[in-house]
Amino acid sequence: MRYDAVIVGGGLAGLTAGISLQKAGKKTAIVSTGQNALYFFSGCFESIQEPTPEILSLFSEAGVRVHYTPGVRLMPMGTFKESALALDDVSLFPAPDFGKKVLIINFMAYHDFFSSFLAQGLEKQGMECRIRFLNLGDLAQPELGPNQMRAVQIARKLDDVWEKVVQEVRVLLKDEDTVVLPQVFGLNDASIPERIRQGIPARVVFAGTLPPSVPGIRTQNLLKKRYEVLGGTYLLGDRVTGAHVYEDVVQNVVTKQLDRHYLEADHFILASGSFFSKGLSSNPFKIYEPLFELDMDYDTDRNTWYDPTFANHQPYLGFGVKTDAEFHPSRHGVPVKNLYVIGSILGETHPELGSGAGLAIRSALQVTQLITGKP
Amino acid sequence: MRVPDCSVDPFRLCAANMLDAKLHGGQVRLQTEVTGILREGNTVKGIRTHNRNTGADQEFYAPIVVNAGGVWGQELAQMAGIKVGMFPAKGSLLIFAHRVNNMVINRCRKPSNADILVPGDTVCIVGTTSSRIPLEECRNVAVTPDEVTLLITEGMKLAPRLASTRILRAYAGVRPLVSADDDPSGRNISRGIVCLDHEVRDGVKGLITITGGKLTSYRLMAEMATDLVCKKLGVDKACETAIHPLPGSEEGSYEEVAKKIWENPTTAQKVAAARMGSRVSRIRSTDRRDEALICECEQVTMGEINSAIDRLEASTLTDLRRRTRVGMGTCQGEFCACRAAGLLAKAHGCIEKERADIDYFLQERWKGNFPIGWGDTLREAEYTQWVYKHVLGI
């Protein structure tokens, strides 16, 4: 099977590249194992301080509702972090002391939402907090068992009965100006968080939970759908297991499911993620990129990979595939002409592109430009 | 030739001993640091303590003080003006993520490094090393890269399979080696159990020290110490701990225990029975919510955690880790730390304390992960960094 571009990895970087290339008239395929960093997305697009029109339309055209409001957001453990571009679910405030009296709502037996830590953080900002628990079993049958109380299972139930939650909150609400809810709404319907806001006569703040991230999965699904609507082929549940490189040109890649049906393309984009996603691998002696054996930028002395203090920045998080100004990697010093590398697999080798979501989106858009030759 | 080896769960052993003492009327005070030994002339009258939880200082009086402080025994004796020479010897070990053996495997040679591969619970452990360290370092022992390399290399000779087995954690402990004499170089280390009657040795009444030995001889050491205490108090009773089983160990295997309590025990119920023995009947509950898994890696339910908080003096994440194995699995506290902290906060009411507890717990877990920070360990570490810093905001 031949494509204009084959993209290894279907997360934020891979999908951004795929969507932009399809829009530019290119025929592409994405190979994805199924999960990626969006599954623990906080809802904030890190390191995007000033979104370009291109970035904003990437989201709006996919139905991903975002807002650009430089400020701070409330983190699940009651702290605050500076952010600028975020999903609709995530409120951004000019300052941490955004309210006076807060009603925090959680579900009984839901251990992944930290209402007491949130309350403590808000009290530090001078707010008065009251925590109340809803019984999800009362709102949606059959009841979830104690070990099914995880964000995604709850969200699936709530997609049907979120209006009942709104009713309960309205009954519980006294004189609070703010209601804090867990981010377990709108798994399959991006309009639900806004509709919840409209139904509650107070400021509504959705605070995050332990992964999986409901807003993250929603975003992943919307972007994938957009990609497919544009004609892209998303090979879900497959994994690239090898590549044939001849004379510094990638001829094709091999996938587990497609076996001998190699994927051929003019251009290949590696967006396979960092260590957790297995885009980068490690053993006691080295850090390496397992698919193409690409040259890496890191220190071979293992003792330099870590900072013994957990809270400090960890050097290994900065390691990534070495690329030139046009995102071409090299093998033993020789650039691979038709291979591009984008996203978190770059580590901190392109600090000008930022980190996290910013790195994924910017590198993907720049590589799209390079491939299509259009600005 | 066969050696009758077995392995023991040291956490369960410790908890059971503590519980046994309480059941016989003893008081257990955790997070209580001895800050001084009260001495009147040549007689020890009691101890001064500082409670790390409440910040309160308190004195306790007794005719006999038993110094069973392990490697800190030297400091404790010093508080009474007595010199007990200790030469701490650090030993490092590696925990592998799953068992490669079901029997203990020993090197048949003179004692040396990495001689033994011990299975236990869901893991196996290879050890150990031995290096003298200064007393000051005892509060913060670290596994060095050289020790990791040595343990892997030697370990592979015991079981080649270890070369491809995920390493879960590296850890180090300190042996309290006691000097047999006054030689400061510590060339003469006492082998075996050391029981010091300071009235005889140093002319100071009301204080004894019990130290040296090994984990396997702990009960005998306690018997020797209590025989001496009884002699001094004029109590004419024989020690019975050799005959009576510890609480929870009366009945059969953990599977049998679990089946008696729950007809069809879940994995979580079975491993709880392995951790607690027949005491596990305490966590049987009619409230389904008690079955919620707080730690998925080690299958620790909310019921078990609340039981440890209520009955086993657990007031920090580290306490919970020791009593229930929370945070000891492959994720090394990634998810369970915050969940368990929430339960602790609910129990003792101080959120601020639990925030600090989470930080401390994560740092302690990291200490044992980065020395073996490659492969899946590095993947989990990266994930933990992202979740705690970018998702949760710690």
Interior angle at CA B374, CA A269 and CA A10, nearest 5: 25
Token pair of A106 as six digits: 């959680």
What residue of B is the nearest CA neighbor of A284? B374
Say if A2-41+218-372 and A69-211 have the same CATH topology: no
Collapsing DSSP states into helix, strand and coil, what is residue A114? coil
Element (H, E) at A69: strand A66-74
Position B27 scores a pLDDT of: 93
Beta carbons of A282 and B375 less than 8 Å apart: yes
Please report the pLDDT score of residue A230 as a whole number: 98
Query: In angstroms, what CA-CA distances link B374 with A285, A304, A305, B39?
Result: 9, 13, 10, 53
How far is it, in rounded angstroms, from Cα B300 to Cα B52? 27
Dist. CA A275–CA B379, nearest whole Å: 5
Q: Do B366 and A146 touch (CB under 8 A)?
A: no
Closest residue, chain A, to B370 (C-alpha) = A306
pLDDT value at residue A77: 95
Angstroms from B344 CA to nearest CA on chain A: 11
* CATH code that applies to domain B87-177: 3.30.9.10
What is the pLDDT at residue B80? 96
Query: How far, in Å, CA of B7 to CA of A362, rounded?
Result: 55
pLDDT at B285: 86
Confidence of residue A195 (pLDDT cuts 50, 70, 90): very high
A82 neighbourhood in chain B, CB within 8 Å: none
Quote the pLDDT of residue B108. Answer: 84
**pLDDT tens-digit profile of B244-297?**
999 888 878 888 888 888 888 999 999 999 888 888 888 888 888 999 999 999
Taking 70 as the pLDDT cut, the residues of chain B under it are: 182-187
What is the C-alpha radius of gyration for chain A, rounded to an integer number of angstroms?
22
pLDDT at B186: 63
> With bands split at pLDDT 50, 70 and 90, how would you rate the model's confidence at A46?
confident
What is the CATH class of A69-211? Answer: alpha beta
Sequence length of chain A is 375
Contact between A271 and A346 under an 8 Å Cβ cutoff? The reply is: no
CA dist., res. B276 & res. B12, Å (int): 7
> Which of chain A's residues have a Cβ under 8 Å away from the Cβ of B382?
274-276, 314, 316-317
Q: Do B367 and A81 touch (CB under 8 A)?
A: no
Among B173, B171, B150, which Cα is nearest to B70's? Answer: B173
At what angle are helices A53-62 and A356-372 packed, to 10 degrees?
Answer: 100
B197: β partners: B208
| A–B interface: beta-carbon pairs under 8 A | 126
Q: Single out the residue of A336, A342, A345, A340 nearest to residue A245, CA to CA.
A: A336
Q: Say how far apart CA A216 and CA A196 lie, in whole Å.
A: 18
pLDDT at B177: 87
Residue in chain A closest to B268 (alpha carbons) equals A147
> Domain limits of chain A?
2-41+218-372, 69-211
Residue B185 has a pLDDT of 65
Give the mean pLDDT of A2-13. 97
3 state DSSP class of A165: helix
By CA distance, what is A319's nearest residue in B?
B382
A-chain residue closest to B362, CA distance:
A310
Contacts of B253 (CB under 8 A, 6+ apart): none
Provide the residue type at A60 as one letter.
S
CB atoms within 10 A of CB A96: 19
Minimal CA separation from B359 to chain A, in Å = 8
A-proximal residues of B, 131-190, CB under 8 Å:
142, 145, 149, 152
Domain extents in chain B: 10-82+184-233, 87-177, 283-392
In sequence order, what are the residues at sequence separation of 6 or more whose Cβ sits closer than 8 angstroms to the Cβ of residue A179? Answer: A102, A103, A104, A105, A169, A173, A200, A202, A203, A204, A205
Give the per-residue pLDDT at B94.
97
* CATH class of the region B10-82+184-233: alpha beta
Task: Indicate the pLDDT class of residue A81, thresholds 50, 70 and 90.
Answer: very high
Looking at domain A2-41+218-372, its CATH class is: alpha beta
Instruction: Find residues 201-240 of chain B whose CB sits inside 8 Å of chain A.
Output: none
DSSP A208: P
Distance of CA B38 to the CA centre of its chain: 28
As a whole number of angstroms, the distance between CA A299 and CA A309 comes to 19
Whether B342 and A116 lie within 8 Å, measured CB to CB: yes
Q: Taking a C-beta distance cutoff of 8 angstroms, is the pair A160, A140 a contact? A: yes
Average pLDDT, chain A: 96
Tell me the chain A residues in contact with residue B354 when contact means C-beta distances shorter than 8 Å: 117
Q: How confident is the model at residue A28 (pLDDT cuts 50, 70, 90)?
A: very high
B355 chain-A contacts, CB cut-off 8 A: 77, 117, 120
**Beta carbons of B351 and A116 less than 8 Å apart:** yes
- Chosen for mutation from B370, B377, B380, B388 (greatest number of chain A CBs closer than 10 Å) is B370
Measured between alpha carbons, how far is B290 from B294 in angstroms, rounded to an integer? 10
Put simply, whether B11 touches A (Cβ < 8 Å) is no
